[in-house]
């Protein structure tokens, strides 16, 4: 009968044979594995970066559209809650949309004088001129100015009125507004059309 000592001796010999036959794997990565990872990262970046760049440029068009809708809502609210006239001025040369309010409700057009000549506001954005002779001395007040995104322009504007290259639409205390529709376009040809309903005073993106 084998003693406990002999059993331990055989176990040690067996363990030494296994150790020599199956050495432990070395730590770290091989050069081939590292090169494979680098190649995969390069391929992923080559695919993802252009998609991300296009998404960023498309976001500027969407942000500009949301900004115009927000300005429309603000003009509508100012006119109704303040019981005054409001107007949005779209200046494509400066790439801005500016909101004006005017308390004078005795004139058919309270934002331009009889000559239809706009003057510069304090902020450097195109603004309406003085009221006509004999009219109210109240001056239009610039409430908010919003700039379009880089590379975004107003490609077409319909409705409202146009003076010296500036398109503008009026909002009335009864909740109505002048009918207007514009087309935004970015440098890559993407488009967004926005239209306002003169009866409901609501604006939305249209196909």
Task: Summarize pLDDT for 11-70 with one digit per residue, the tens.
Answer: 555 555 444 555 565 567 788 888 888 888 888 777 776 665 666 667 889 999 999 999
Has residue 195 been placed in a domain? yes
Q: What are φ and ψ of residue 161, in 5° steps?
A: -140, 165
Domain holding 201: CATH number?
A: 3.55.40.10
Has residue 191 been placed in a domain? yes
Task: Summarize pLDDT for 138-162 with one digit per residue, the tens.
Answer: 678 899 999 999 889 999 999 999 8
Q: What does 120-163 look like in DSSP terms, one character per residue?
A: E-TTSSEE--PPPTTS--PPPEEEEEEEPPTT-EEEEEEESEEE
Instruction: Determine the Cα–Cα distance for residues 22 and 147; give it in Å rounded to an integer.
Output: 70
Instruction: Determine the Cα–Cα distance for residues 182 and 63; give it in Å rounded to an integer.
Output: 15
Range of the structural domain that residue 154 is part of: 52-206
What is the tally of structural domains in the chain?
1
What tokens appear for 52 in the block? 């991300």
Instruction: Determine the Cα–Cα distance for residues 110 and 127; give it in Å rounded to an integer.
Output: 12
Query: pTM to 2 decimals?
Result: 0.64
DSSP code of residue 53: H
Has residue 197 been placed in a domain? yes
């Amino acid at each position: 009968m084998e003693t406990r000592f002999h059993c331990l001796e055989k176990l040690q010999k067996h363990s030494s044979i296994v150790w020599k036959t199956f050495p432990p794997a070395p730590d770290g990565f091989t050069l081939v594995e590292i090169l494979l990872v680098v190649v995969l990262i390069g391929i992923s970046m080559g695919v993802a970066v252009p998609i991300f760049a296009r998404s960023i440029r498309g976001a500027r068009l969407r942000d500009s559209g949301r900004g115009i809708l927000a300005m429309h809502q603000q003009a509508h609210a100012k006119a109704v809650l303040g019981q005054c006239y409001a107007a949005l001025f779209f200046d494509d040369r400066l790439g801005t949309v500016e909101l004006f309010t005017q308390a004078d409700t005795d004139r058919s057009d309270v934002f331009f004088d009889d000559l239809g000549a706009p003057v510069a506001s304090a902020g450097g954005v195109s603004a309406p001129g003085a009221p006509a002779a004999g009219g109210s001395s109240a001056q239009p007040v610039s409430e908010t100015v919003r700039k379009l995104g880089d590379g975004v322009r107003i490609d077409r504007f319909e409705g409202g009125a146009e003076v010296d290259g500036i398109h503008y639409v009026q909002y009335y205390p009864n909740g109505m507004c002048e009918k207007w529709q514009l087309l935004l376009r970015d440098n890559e040809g993407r488009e967004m059309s926005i239209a306002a309903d003169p009866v409901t005073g609501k604006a939305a993106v249209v196909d």
